[in-house]
Amino acid sequence: MTRIFLAGSTGVVGHRLVPLLLEAGHHVTGMTRSAASATRLHALGAEPVIADALDRERVAAAVAMARPDVVMHQLTDLSAGTSATNALLRTEGTRNLVDAAQAAGVRRIVAQSIAWAYAPGTEPADEQTALDTHAPEPRRTTIRGIEALESAVREAPEWVVLRYGLLYGAGTWYAPDGLRAEQARAGQLTADADISSFVHADDAATAAVKALEWPSGAVNVCDDDPAPGREWVPAFCAAVGADPPPTATGERAAWARGASNRHAREELGWVPRHPTWRSGFVS
């Protein structure tokens, strides 16, 4: 049995992870900010702890009390729909969590990152591709947050950074009741040339479980089908009951290249249950 401290235990990936980890026989301490969520975690069989990731002292105390073998970081802040709030959590929240883990003698950290932070290129990016450190604003805010998160996590003796594609499925922005679906029904999504890589949230959770055993490094966790908006946006609109979207002319943004999952599939043995958004959007 591995003792796991799960930060972000009630988020899109976190709430899927808790039952998977418990089923695998692990002890899970789930960090949440609300008493109601703590009650739900307890009902599942996890040990809840209430703490805000930005409260450095409280995070340190929570991790020390849990005595985990692994700290798992699935924190996001998407409620405001802005990159600035998420970047703050990735910078300060990650710093607090990593420092708490180090103080508690934790050897392994598994953390959520993103697969669209890579520098410009012509092919889907692999894990050896540099991050887009020269991006202008507003993209630069996101990249700075990712740089800070990944740099902090690499301080652990053992670490895995899960670079997720765009998450879809229940509870995400791409769910029928999510933000992107609302934008689609309002005619605000444009089918353009930018290439995106997706991953179903269920597949993201199974990758996080497998990452408990993976060697240190970054891993692209995305499906097999990077695609331009001219393909996926109309399919998404149809799946959520929106009218066909407007189509943009012009070339893609140089950084919007998608990501390759070859390392995860061929070298680490992770196979997504939803290999493409083409069927996943409607499943």
CATH number of the domain bearing residue 152:
3.40.50.720
Q: Decide if 154 is inside a domain.
A: yes
Average pLDDT over residues 204-226: 98
Tally the domains of the chain. Answer: 1
End-to-end CA distance of the chain: 34
Q: Decide if 280 is inside a domain.
A: no
Assessment of whether the complete model's pTM goes beyond 0.95: yes
Q: Decide if 60 is inside a domain.
A: yes
Rounded distance, CA 153 to CA 140, Å? 20
Q: Decide if 234 is inside a domain.
A: no
Q: Decide if 253 is inside a domain.
A: no
What are residue 218's phi and psi, to 5 degrees?
Answer: -90, 145
The radius of gyration of the chain's CA atoms, rounded to the nearest angstrom, is 18
Question: For 110-168, how does the pLDDT look when each residue is reduced to its tens digit (9 = 90+)?
Answer: 999 999 999 999 999 999 999 999 999 999 999 999 999 999 999 999 999 999 999 99
Cβ-Cβ contacts under 8 Å for 170 (sequence gap 6 or more): 201
Question: For 31-45, how does the pLDDT look when each residue is reduced to its tens digit (9 = 90+)?
Answer: 999 999 999 999 999
Q: Which residue segment(s) compose the domain that 79 sits in?
A: 3-169+201-223+259-275
pLDDT score recorded for residue 78: 72
Q: Decide if 174 is inside a domain.
A: no
Q: Decide if 246 is inside a domain.
A: no
Rounded distance, CA 34 to CA 276, Å? 35
Q: Decide if 64 is inside a domain.
A: yes
Question: For 67-123, how does the pLDDT look when each residue is reduced to its tens digit (9 = 90+)?
Answer: 999 999 999 887 655 688 889 999 999 999 999 999 999 999 999 999 999 999 999
